[in-house]
A = this chain, B = another copy of it.
Amino acid sequence: MTGTERTDTRQAIMEATYRALCEHGYAALTMQDIADELDKSKSLLHYHFDTKEDLLVAFIEFLLEEFEEKRAENAEAPPEKRLEEFVDWFVFAPEEDDRTAFHIALLELRSQAPYTEAYREQLARSDRLVRETIVEIVEAGIESGEFRSDVDPESIARLVFATMDGARIRQATLAEAGYAAAVRDALYEYVLDDIVSAE
């Protein structure tokens, strides 16, 4: 049972980190903030993770595992619906504050990736994972005849991902509510509708 308990504590630390990030953001995040959310001492965090960086790398890994689970869930839906769900996943949080705060914190963290190789590696993994997900959806759509067959799934994946990522970032940093949704609509109008419509 000790093994489980150790995992429990680490799980609790990850969840406390999530809450602390939402509340304070990444730049202002202190080990004390996480400890407060956990209702344990700061020393405990250092007992489980040598450094703050180690803890946060573990946190990104934790997020990736969650994404992988979610991805497996709706892998069986029809491509058009999967694509729509995926795109909407970005626009999410019309006013769901928690999620917006979290995305902002994640952007702050991402902005440190150029200086921290461990972050960069995890984020590169996440980039591959998301792009592969889109590629799979597009390939499935082409195979089933729902999508036009003369498009390159890799190119589309890159385009869709960059666009929605940029839209979400601009919305978050400008605090302008409708930004991401407006870009999503433009993405559909000028790109995705053409691809989805039968040839």
Contact = CB atoms under 8 A, between A and B. Distances in A.
A114 B183 contact: no
A28 B165 CA distance: 25
Contacts of A25: 114-115
A167 B174 contact: no
Interface residues of A, number: 47
A185 interface: yes
Contacts of A174: 113, 120, 123-124, 127
Contact of A165 (B159, B166, B176, B190): B166
A124 B174 CA distance: 6
Interface in A168-191: 169-170, 172-176, 179, 182-183, 185-187, 189-191
A188 to B, nearest CB: 10
A165 B162 CA distance: 8
A19 interface: no
A186 B155 contact: yes
Given A155-B186, A158-B183, A172 B114 contact: yes
Given A114-B104, A124-B174, A183 B165 contact: no
Contacts of A27: 27, 111-112, 115
A149 B139 CA distance: 32
Contacts of A186: 155-156, 158-159
A98 interface: no
Given A120-B173, A120-B175, A170-B127, A108 B112 contact: yes
A140 to B, nearest CB: 19
